[in-house]
Amino acid sequence: MEMLIDFPGGSRVDAHFGGFTVNTDQPPASSAPSPFEMFLASIGTCAGIYVLGFCQQRGLPTTDIRIVERVAHSQLTHMVEKIDLEIQVPATFPEKYRESLIRSAELCAVKKHLENPPRFNISTIVVAPMGA
């Protein structure tokens, strides 16, 4: 997969891939989430894809199911220390599926990549100016 990252103005940084554009921005004049907020949102939404699929495969309604993501930061380093995902289900959700619902959320690819992070290689290359 390849993404093109560009700088459309101000503190915006956008990613383009597969016909999509993901807009990001930085405070104080944010017009979009920050890149780090997008990263955090990807964890909850990834888990949500698996929860949704689990429910759809079993014909379980999802209208009253939510995931609440709580992020705890270290006081010392300000780095994320813990992420809690709380799957909220209605009282009518079958008890027999609750543990399986958790296991389905644990299949999240973003979570798995954090548990076994990739190596990073960052370099520069000189190119001709755009439009030249």
pLDDT at 132: 67
Instruction: Report the alpha-carbon distance of residue 51 to residue 117 in Å, rounded.
Output: 23
Mean pLDDT of 23-35: 92
Number of structural domains found in the chain: 1
pLDDT at 28: 85
Of the candidates 105, 73, 71, the residue with the CA atom closest to the CA atom of residue 88: 105
C-beta of residue 15 within 8 angstroms of C-beta of residue 4 = yes
Q: What is the pLDDT of residues 33-55, one digit of tens each?
A: 999 999 999 999 999 999 999 99
Of the candidates 40, 51, 45, the residue with the CA atom closest to the CA atom of residue 100: 51
Is residue 122 a part of any domain in this protein?
A: no
Domain that holds residue 64: 33-115
Is residue 65 a part of any domain in this protein?
A: yes
Domain holding 94: CATH number? 3.30.300.20
- Percentage of the chain lying above the pLDDT 90 cut: 93
In terms of DSSP H, where are the helices of the chain? 35-57, 98-105, 109-115
Q: Model confidence at 131, in pLDDT bands (50, 70, 90)?
A: confident
